[in-house]
Amino acid sequence: MKKLLISTAFLFAGFAASAQQDAQFTQNMFNKLSVNPGSAGHNGGICGTFLTRTQWVGFDGRPQTHLFSADARFSRHGVGLTIFQDKLGIESSLIAKGAYSFHLPLGPGELGIGLEIGMINKSFGAGFVAIDDPLLDPSIPNSSTSAITFDAGLGIYYEIKDKMYVGISTLHLPQSELQDVADGDGEGALNYASSRHYYIMAGYDWDVSGGSQKWVIKPSILAKTDAASTQLDINALAVYNKIVWGGVSYRIQDAVAILAGVSIPQVPGLKLGVSYDLTTSAVGDHSSGSLEFMIKYCTSIVKPTKREVYHSVRFL
């Protein structure tokens, strides 16, 4: 598994990183469902995750992203829900999708095969700012406009519990176009084509404390491409006693990030995380970095066994 992580990292490191349509999260290792429906239910119980990200602090109209996802496991079936909202300047995106996965035992682990369906809503406000007069370009709406379309994706996810995971998925399969004219007497129109995205994820749990799980190093990668540009996140977390973690992440030609988090002992299953990105591209000359917060809660849906005591009728 270590060789797989290293090989994949070098493979994708040869591609230049640039912006894609899907928003990114630094704490991607806690957010598998939103990019791979095959992972729905992989925790074995019910999990809910909330992420909020402010990117490029210091920019007016900077990207602000919020995501909520939840999934549950019933026997071999996993179900999930993801709601995602992103705002960049006058552009707003809303994605809502449901996921289903079927889990099969395979070797020492389990394979999840998943499908997701949902919708994409894209809207543009009227406050477009440009050096040249935007009315000269009919492709730029000068009044509010929005459109909605169908979306779907596929994914497979394999995990050996507390050892490793690997997944591959493709999102926005229909590559639908969103089209609408400007509201009222406005000019211009919304014409937005969604691009198919591909994701590869992998991670490994390395118990460096000789089997006690006191110290665990968790390297992981997330590669993403829309066939026009590619990004690669290389991550490493150090977890102490399954309670506290810290680590670093590197996004090729974009940012270096610091991550930290804690599991709350008083509320079993509750995790809080934070990350801070230091931008390494030219954008960093005008930005104070990016800040991201995470809340994750998981619980078992298996009811505890009820203890019943029977008394013999011989003894009253």
Query: What string of DSSP letters covers 126-175?
Result: S----SS-GGG-TTS-SS-EEEEEEEEEEEEEEEETTTEEEEEEEE-TT-
The listed CATH number (2.40.160.40, 3.50.50.60, 3.40.50.150, 3.30.750.24) that belongs to domain 2-299: 2.40.160.40
Q: Where are the alpha helices (DSSP H) in the chain?
A: 2-13
- State the pLDDT at residue 147: 86
- State the pLDDT at residue 305: 55
- State the pLDDT at residue 186: 56
Query: Which pairs from 125-129 meet CB under 8 Å and 24+ separation?
Result: 125/90, 125/91, 125/92, 126/90, 126/186, 127/90, 128/90, 129/89
- State the pLDDT at residue 79: 98
- Can you list the residues of the chain whose pLDDT is less than 50? 1-19
- State the pLDDT at residue 153: 97
Domain parsing of the chain, residue ranges: 2-299
**49 vs 31: CA distance, rounded Å:** 7
pLDDT tens-digit series, residues 105-136? 999 999 999 999 999 998 877 766 666 666 66
Q: What is the pTM of this model?
A: 0.83
